[in-house]
Chains A and B, each alone.
Chain A
Amino acid sequence: KAGVTQTPRYLIKTRGQQVTLSCSPISGHRSVSWYQQTPGQGLQFLFEYFSETQRNKGNFPGRFSGRQFSNSRSEMNVSTLELGDSALYLCASSLGQGAGGELFFGEGSRLTVL
């Protein structure tokens, strides 16, 4: 079956702009998590959605937000972009919520902020 699909794969924005990233989970998976990956900080948990509700949230400012739709697809938004937001944003889906479920990752959306 199809894996986790993230769009766009690459994008370039300027400071102050906002960006929306999309994630389509594996069919039947109801949980979607988002992670930020940077060379300096590594992989950091952003948030997790299950059945359209945000279940968990990492230590990121309110500029980072997300949502999940009834078909389990998820979007994350970053407003008022800063240079430090340049990163690979990874989406992962799983059958259940929380850390017990095996996560299946997409290839990521690489955001560059100029």
Chain B
Amino acid sequence: AQSVTQPDIHITVSEGASLELRCNYSYGATPYLFWYVQSPGQGLQLLLKYFSGDTLVQGIKGFEAEFKRSQSSFNLRKPSVHWSDAAEYFCAVGARRGGADGLTFGKGTHLIIQP
């Protein structure tokens, strides 16, 4: 079965500093990979996704992520965070052939922005 690990439950970053959120997955092949963001009281919004091709993918709000097959990782990065980036971030994997599990999400990383 597929699984996702987000090792950092909380991360605190100063406004204007760079950000990297870690995500490791377990899957038998190359899965679909996603990063979602959830603000308090809101649903999830897709930041970016990796299906195939270029392993560095660009997303909305200045985010990017890099797929590293050898490390089974899909880390999310942003060069300079803004206070509005404070939210919960979820990494997710999906089976390429639409298996019975839907999307499998990590437990999330809570991002705190210091002024």
Query: What's the least CB distance linking A29 to chain B, in Å?
Result: 14
Judging by beta carbons under 8 Å apart, are B98 and A99 in contact?
A: yes
Cβ of A72 under 8 Å from chain B: no
Chain B binding surface, main DSSP class: loop
A107 in contact (CB, < 8 A) = yes
Hey, what's the 0/1 contact readout for B78-107 against A, CB within 8 Å counting as 1?
000000000000101111111111111111
Closest to A106 in B: B43
Closest 6 CB pairs of A and B: A98-B98, A99-B94, A45-B102, A105-B43, A43-B105, A105-B44
- In the complex formed, the residue of A with least CB distance to B108 is A42
Which residues of chain B have a CB within 8 Å of any CB of chain A? 31-32, 36, 41-46, 49, 51, 90, 92-108
With both chains docked as a complex, state the minimum distance between the C-beta of A12 and any C-beta of chain B, in angstroms. 17
Contact between B101 and A105, CB atoms less than 8 A apart: no
User: Chain A interface (Cβ within 8 Å of chain B)?
Assistant: 4, 33, 35, 42-48, 55-58, 90, 92, 97-100, 102-108
A91→B67 CA distance, assembly (Å): 27
Which residues of chain B are near A44, meaning CB under 8 Å?
105
Across the interface, which residues of B come within 8 angstroms of A47, CB to CB? 102
A45→B104 contact, CB < 8 A = yes
Whether A99 and B103, one on each chain, are in contact in the complex, defined by CB atoms closer than 8 angstroms, is yes
Docked-complex contact A98 and B97, CB < 8 angstroms:
yes
Known pairs A4-B43, A97-B98, A107-B42; A102 contacts B49 (CB<8 A): yes
